[in-house]
Amino acid sequence: MPISISRCIAGVCKAAALCLIQPACAQSAAEPAPAVTVDPVVGEYSSVQMELVAGIRLNPDGTFEYGLTVGSLDERAQGRWKRVGSRIELVSDPRPVAPTISANRIDNAPGQPFALRLVAPNDIDIPGIDLRIDFDTGAPLKSYLVGGPWTLPANEKRRPRFITFSKRAYRIASGPLPLRAEAGTVTVFLLTPNDLGVIDLTGAYLEPDGNSLVLTRPDGTIIFERANPASDTRTTPDGEQDPQKEPLR
C-alpha cells in the first residue's frame, strides 16, 4: 500500500515532538565534552651547571617565562611560543628596550686631572662596563670602569675625541659619543636602564631531545631537563588527568 507524503510529514512531526518532550532524545547533553589536547612540551624545565642556574616554563596558553643566573649576570624573558614542526619557536612579548647611554653633565673639579663617570639615574657609579677612547691620532685605548671616576693614563698626551661604552651581556652599546677631556672637569654620562636584564629571545628556539629541551640562541645552547616530570599532566578522553611520561616530540 503506498504511503502518502502527508503521512510521512506527520510521522516526522510526531518524532520531533517526542524528542522535545523526552530528554533521552537529546543525546548531545549526555555525551562527554571533547578532551582538550595539551602539547606534551608544556611544563617546567631547569638547567643547573657550573655557576649557572636557568629555567623555562612553557604554559598551556602559549606563553613562556625564562630566567638565568650565571656569575654576576642575571637575565629574564617572557613572551609567546608556538610549535613549528619539531621546533618550539619563541617570540619575546613585549620586545624589551635596550639600555641607553647619553651625555648628562660636566662637573667642575679644580686642580684635578680630567675624569669621566658613568652613573645610574640615582647618580651611583656603574662598574664593569667596557669603554673605548678614540683619539685624534693613533690607536684607540680600551679599558673598563671599576665603579668610580675614570682618568686617562698619566702618560697619555693625545686628545680624546670619542668614547664608546659597551657590555654585550646586558645589551649595552652606546656607539661613539663626543668627548672633551679638559683638566679640572668631570664628564658625567647617564645610563638609562629601560629593560636592563631582559633579553630578546625572538628568533631563539627549543628542540625536544628525549625528555629534555635544547634552547638555541645566537650566543650558544642550553639543555633544560623537565622539572618534576610526574607533575606534568594531560587530559585523557574521559576527562581524567594522566601523568605525562612519554618522551617529548
**Each residue's pLDDT tens digit, 154-189:** 999 999 999 999 999 899 999 999 999 999 999 999
User: Residue 162 corresponds to which cell in the numbers above?
Assistant: 670619542
The pLDDT confidence band at residue 29, using thresholds 50, 70 and 90, is: low
CB of 92 within 8 A of CB of 201? yes
CA dihedral sign, ordered 164, 168, 169, 172: positive
Give the chain's mean pLDDT.
Answer: 84
CATH topology of domain 100-192: Immunoglobulin-like (2.60.40)
pTM: predicted TM-score of the whole model, two decimal places: 0.71
- Are 244 and 232 within 8 A, CB to CB? yes
Count CB-CB contacts under 10 A for residue 183: 11
The pLDDT tens digits for 56-74 are 999 999 999 999 999 888 9
Question: Which residues neighbour 1 within 8 Å (Cβ) at sequence distance 6 or greater?
Answer: none
pLDDT (0 to 100) of residue 7: 38
Q: Which of 221, 237, 224, 230 is nearest to 58 (CA)?
A: 224
Q: HSE-up of 4 (CA within 13 Å, CB side)?
A: 3
- List for the chain the helix, strand, coil content (%; round to 5): 10, 45, 45
Please give the pLDDT value at position 117. 98
Domain ranges of the chain: 43-96+198-243, 100-192
Q: How much is the average pLDDT of 30-51?
A: 82
Q: How far apart are CA 234 and CA 237, in angstroms?
A: 10
- DSSP-derived secondary structure letter, 125: B
**Structure confidence at residue 249 as a pLDDT band (50, 70, 90):** low
Neighbours of 229 (CB within 10 A): 13
SS3 27: helix
Task: Return the CATH architecture of domain 43-96+198-243.
Answer: Beta Barrel (2.40)
CA atoms within 13 A on the CB side of 247: 6
Pairwise pLDDT comparison (230 vs 212), residue with the higher score = 212
